[in-house]
Amino acid sequence: MKVIKANEGSVYEAQHHFNMWGVRKFGPPDGAKTVNVSISEFLPNGGAAMTASDKERIYCVLRGSITVNDEHGQAHMLDAGDMIYIAPGEKRDMAVNGVVAARVLVIVANC
């Protein structure tokens, strides 16, 4: 077992993201071997550009509200407690709704 306390983790900047910082809690090479778990903090006006990943991912909104748009223009508004699954190769962008910073738990499989 491995415990990561609230004030622990590795700070990182994610490509194609803006007004955001992330803290990786678990992932290779330390901790989990096949999944990355991080917490992303998005400031108001923060988000991510339309892009795809070869890895499946789940976003779980812990605070605030975000909208995730798919490449076909469908918008998915997520509030605290909501989750979204994004399949490998699926394009999406993301934006914070309103003036409250959003905190998102991000789980990325098949690292």
pLDDT of residue 40: 97
111 pLDDT above the threshold of 70? no
Rounded mean pLDDT, 40-49: 97
Q: Are 37 and 106 in contact (CB under 8 A)?
A: yes
- Which residue from 96, 55, 50 is spatially nearest to 74, judged by alpha carbons? 50
CA 50/CA 100 separation, integer angstroms: 22
Rounded mean pLDDT, 44-55: 96
Establish how many alpha carbons lie within 13 A of residue 43's alpha carbon, considering only the half-sphere containing its beta carbon: 6
104 pLDDT above the threshold of 70? yes
Q: Give the DSSP H/E element, type plus range, for residue 61.
A: strand 57-63
CA 72/CA 31 separation, integer angstroms: 36
For the chain, domains (ranges, CATH) are 11-109 (2.60.120.10)
pTM: 0.92
Q: Tokens 């990561």 appear where?
A: 4
Judging by beta carbons within 10 Å of its beta carbon (0-12, 13-18, 19+), is residue 25 exposed, middle or buried?
buried
59 pLDDT above the threshold of 80? yes
Chain-wide mean pLDDT for the chain?
Answer: 95
